[in-house]
Structure 1
């Protein structure tokens, strides 16, 4: 039987599930593994934090938040030596926040398009009403006079005062 000599842990392998970019509020599992003789003990640390976060090959963070973002490292240690590997975790905006923002943007766009469509319809209506009362190449003053002549109040005015009435009416 061949016995291998004791040695320090090899550089541990670290992985994260579901991914390195975690949606805010979700759960994330960090796993550390490596070869060592004798077997290694595993400890998880967060960079710039003195005390360990967890011990064991698996470290789970539930309800991941922005303050959880940063570099984590796993240290594999036995009586011969130690090695560590680092993993960076980044929180991304929660799916509910993203969905809410997209829905707000959609609503704003819908309102803007509706207002523009309403303004366009009003403009076309006004343009159509002007073109239906105007002959091609007919001056606007002639159209105004025709409208006044069909007005019962205007027809009761003497011919001398009609010009004054037309001027007063066009300024309204």
Structure 2
């Protein structure tokens, strides 16, 4: 009988991410899992909150990564003597182009809001000034009425003056003496 003193269940796996650092959308990432076990372990990858395995094998590569790939991944090492697992968080940042688009969109939205507020304030000031001018100065109709009153008064004065002159000429056939200024009648 041969006793195998070197058989054991997998130790908690060691996991790593390559490249290290921030993982940007659109890039590729490789997750690696290894464990000491005898016999050698089989590796299975699970994503948090998913029942079925995401991948199998010691190396798991995700190409063209998106935000949906972010989350916690668990590597499970298993052999005939047992199983062990380790969890690895994977955070995916927005791609550089996405950040630029988001920044530009935010800036444009801010400009539109500021322009709208400026136009609204300008419009409000114009309405205020217009209503203020209507309250403090005569309207066009009242200016016309004043002008019409002045014209009517001039006409009345002229008409009265013309009537007086006409009355004087028709009632007095006399002429004034240059020396005394009195009216003398001329015989006919």
Cα deviation, residue 93, structure 1: 5.1
Unaligned runs of 5+ in 2: 153-188
Aligned residues: 144
Say whether 1:44 aligns with 2:44: yes
Check the 8 A contact 2:10/2:41 in 1, yes or no: no
Unaligned runs of 5+ in 1: 134-138, 162-172
Mapped partners of 2:141, 2:19: distance in 1:
75
Corresponding residue of 2:55: 53
Say whether 1:157 aligns with 2:160: no
**Comparing both chains, which one has the higher relative contact order based on Cα–Cα distances under 8 Å and sequence gaps of 6 or more?**
1
Cα deviation, residue 62, structure 1: 0.8
TM-score, normalising length from structure 1?
0.55
Considering only CA atoms, is the larger Rg found in Structure 1 or Structure 2? 2
Cα deviation, residue 107, structure 1: 1.1
Deviations 1:96-133 (A, max 9, x none): 445433422321221121232234345556767898x8
TM-score, normalising length from structure 2?
0.52
Within the candidate set 130, 138, 142, 1:144 is matched to 138
Check the 8 A contact 1:20/1:90 in 2, yes or no: no
Corresponding residue of 1:170: none
RMSD: 4.3
